[in-house]
């Protein structure tokens, strides 16, 4: 997780600050030092973030130091580990460090790091003389240092999850907006489709009405004339009756779907079925088709079987009439073959 300079404070809760205050107070009491500090480093500034309580502690919260080679904490960063100075007044490397202004010649400090290894600051113990008790507590200071670093890791993880949740919420908002937009588009498309389908249906109805009118006005009158011209030809009259019946069926049932009950019949069976539906007897059908009555009976039996009339109780003519009456008898042109 990226952290901008000076923005770590908002990660650290009041509860964590209180916990760290308790830690530094415990360290000062156990190690018997006047000052225990948690320092925070930001760029080249090194500031007091948490200080142990008590009047003997000369440092104030927020007090800032410029990082340079003479500062104790700079030595911690250079070592990337513990710095222990037992008596700075006798150490040529530290005798003139800024903390000597407060008489703090004794120092033990450790680096505090974020989980990614970058420096948060330091945790340190300071005294005005060599402190044997503090020297013996160096391992304890490491344990307290680990507690602070664990808190830093937890705080960073909390922040990471908050940012991830914010990103998810933003993404969710975008997805919801997109879904709403797509839903609106679909609704508009459905409306347009309904309008289109209604238009198609109206056009279909208009076309059907025109075809029906043309059949009634242009075709059926000629069939009547043909019947008059072929008055002595019974077979011709039979075909004309069938054509007229089918044309009338077309003009009366354009708006419905004719059933496909006769799709499974052969052309000859379909021809016979239509003549049966017109009320023709077996003898009349045999004469019309120039077939024997036994052949017609054979086909009648096949028609009954294919239409599911196997129990013999249902009259075939009545069944075909019912199908035709309810728009379920398909228009099948009789075949002369």
Q: Where are the beta strands (DSSP E) in 77-222?
A: 83-85, 106-113, 119-127
pLDDT band, residue 54 (cuts 50/70/90): confident
| Shared domain check, 242 and 101 | no
Number of compact structural domains in the chain? 2
Residue 245's pLDDT is 78
Residue 196 lies in a domain: no
Q: Is the pLDDT of residue 234 over 90?
A: no
Read off the CATH number of the domain in which 278 is found.
3.40.50.2300
C-alpha distances in angstroms, 70 versus 91, 109, 121, 122?
A: 12, 14, 16, 15
Sheet (strand 35-42) strand order: 64-66, 45-51, 35-42, 119-127, 106-113, 83-85
| Shared domain check, 149 and 242 | no
pLDDT band, residue 308 (cuts 50/70/90): confident
CB 334 within 8 Å of CB 242: yes
Q: Is the pLDDT of residue 336 over 50?
A: no
| Shared domain check, 250 and 109 | no
| Shared domain check, 150 and 13 | yes
| Shared domain check, 264 and 125 | no
Give the mean model confidence (pLDDT) for residues 55-72.
Answer: 92
If you write DSSP's letter for every residue of 232-249 in order, what string do you get? T-HHHHHHHHHHHHHHHH
| Shared domain check, 132 and 23 | yes
CB 108 within 8 Å of CB 125: yes
Q: Is the pLDDT of residue 222 over 90?
A: no
Which of 164, 197, 212 marks a domain boundary? 164
Q: Is the pLDDT of residue 255 over 50?
A: no
| Shared domain check, 145 and 237 | no
| Shared domain check, 279 and 155 | no
Q: Look over the chain and give the mean of its residue pLDDT values, rounded to a whole number.
A: 84
Residue 50 lies in a domain: yes
pLDDT band, residue 243 (cuts 50/70/90): confident
Read off the CATH number of the domain in which 20 is found.
3.30.450.40
pLDDT band, residue 262 (cuts 50/70/90): low
Residue 218 lies in a domain: no
Extract the tokens encoding 105: 């010649």
Kindly report whether the global pTM for this prediction surpasses the value 0.75. no
| Shared domain check, 130 and 20 | yes
Structural domain that includes position 274: 230-325
Q: What is the largest CA-CA distance in the chain?
A: 147
From 218-222, 237-241, 317-321, the region with the lowest mean pLDDT: 218-222
Residue 330 lies in a domain: no
CB 76 within 8 Å of CB 82: yes
Give the mean model confidence (pLDDT) for residues 39-63.
Answer: 92
Residue 178 lies in a domain: no
pLDDT band, residue 327 (cuts 50/70/90): very low
| Shared domain check, 26 and 144 | yes
Give the pLDDT confidence of 101-134 residue by residue, as tens digits.
999 999 999 999 999 999 999 999 999 999 999 9
Q: Is the pLDDT of residue 87 over 80?
A: yes
Closest CA to 328 of 260, 247, 244: 260
Residue 216 lies in a domain: no
Which of 126, 142, 164 marks a domain boundary? 164
Residue 241's pLDDT is 80
Which of 111, 134, 164 marks a domain boundary? 164
Residue 17 lies in a domain: yes
| Shared domain check, 154 and 237 | no
Angle at 206 between CA 203 and CA 211, to 5 degrees: 125
| Shared domain check, 252 and 134 | no
Looking up tokens 């830690």, which residue turns up? 23
The residue count of the chain comes to 337
Residue 242 lies in a domain: yes
Extract the tokens encoding 109: 């400090």
């Amino acid at each position: 997780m990226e952290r901008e300079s000076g923005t770590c404070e908002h990660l650290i809760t009041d509860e964590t600050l209180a916990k760290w205050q308790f830690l530094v107070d415990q360290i000062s009491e156990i190690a018997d030092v006047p000052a225990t500090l948690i320092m925070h480093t930001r760029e080249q500034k090194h500031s007091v973030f948490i200080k142990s309580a008590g009047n003997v502690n000369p440092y104030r919260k927020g007090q800032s130091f410029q990082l340079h080679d003479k500062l104790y904490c700079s030595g911690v960063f250079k070592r990337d580990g513990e710095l222990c100075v037992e008596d700075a007044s006798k150490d040529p490397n530290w005798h003139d460090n800024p903390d000597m202004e407060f008489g703090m010649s004794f120092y033990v400090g450790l680096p505090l790091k974020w989980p990614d290894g970058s420096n948060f600051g330091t945790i340190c113990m300071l005294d005005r003389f060599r402190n044997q008790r503090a020297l013996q507590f160096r391992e304890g200071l490491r344990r307290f240092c680990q507690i602070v670093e664990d808190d830093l890791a937890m705080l960073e993880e909390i922040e990471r999850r908050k940012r991830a949740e914010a990103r998810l919420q933003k993404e969710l908002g975008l997805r919801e907006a997109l879904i709403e937009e797509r839903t609106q588009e679909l609704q508009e498309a459905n409306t347009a489709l309904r309008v289109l389908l209604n238009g198609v249906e109206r056009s279909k109805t208009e076309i059907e009405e025109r075809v029906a009118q043309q059949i009634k006005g242009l075709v059926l009158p000629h069939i009547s004339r043909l019947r008059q011209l072929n008055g002595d030809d019974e077979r011709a009259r039979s075909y004309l009756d069938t054509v007229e019946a089918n044309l009338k069926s077309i003009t009366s049932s354009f708006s419905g779907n004719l059933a496909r009950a006769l799709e499974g019949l052969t052309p000859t069976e379909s021809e016979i079925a239509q003549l049966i539906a017109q009320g023709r007897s077996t003898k009349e059908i045999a004469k019309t088709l120039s077939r024997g009555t036994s052949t017609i009976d054979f086909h009648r039996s096949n028609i009954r079987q294919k239409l599911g009339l196997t129990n013999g109780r249902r009259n075939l003519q009545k069944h075909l009439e019912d199908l035709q009456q309810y728009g379920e008898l398909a228009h099948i042109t009789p075949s002369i073959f």
